[in-house]
Amino acid sequence: NVNLFFDDKVLNGFMGAGGNATGIDDFNGDNFDHTGLGFIGGGNINCGSGATRPIEVRPVPQGTPRWGSEWKKAAAKYFNRSCSVAIQGACQSYRGNYLDLDPTYRDAYGLPLLRMTFDRHENEHKMSVYVTNKAAEIGKAMGASKMNVNPRTGKYTIVPYQSTHNTGGTVMGADPNTSVVNKYLQSWDVHNVFAISAGAFPQNGGYNPTGTVGALTFQALEAIKTKYLKRPGALV
């Protein structure tokens, strides 16, 4: 994302809501020329006021001390004079990103926990730098006095909040050898198990998956109602 700081504008970000952002798709998917960029995919760019809270949200310009009187002055000054231009970028599917059963850690019932092995690749790093720089151009046009430009280029870490719209794990496909569920989100192995979730996605695009999950849910429920209940078994 790109954090914007204004010396001459009061934005009242605490009055906002998560759904009032404005987004553009100019640099998402195949909507732009990728010639010479060295990556595929892209991301949506959005800006809005998300009901910022004074304890949770304390943005300060880069170079501000991390504590002390100068930090306090900057936090107080820019709480109501800052906003963010955010990017939600795509992440491609890689064989080295997978879920398996943890060989060491178990839950309260003695069952192995789910273990995630994941990292971004050079494609995602290049995409993030490119699209984040486009977001910075938007911030400059908005008249920001200062900007923090924050592309994702390092190793993946789950520590800072990024998104709770997780995808993958029960991938949908046409071949039971390379997927977990069929197009109706029905398990290839156990016909009365339907895994209706964003787990069906092989990767994450430049959007939250919610709308597509809703469409897949309607498709699965229609198949259950009109086909499966009449004759239980594999639908494909």
Catalytic entry in 34, 125, 165, 191: 165
Report how far Cα 201 is from the mean position of its chain's Cα atoms: 13
Q: Is 165 a catalytic residue?
A: yes
∠ at Cα 158 (126, 94), nearest 5°?
50
| Residue 91 Rama label (left phi>0; alpha psi -120 to 50; beta) | beta
What lies within 8 Å, CB to CB, of 115 at 6+ separation is 99, 100, 101, 102, 105
> Quick one: which of 91, 115, 121 has its CA closest to 103?
115
Q: Would you please indicate which residues are annotated as catalytic (active-site) residues?
A: 165
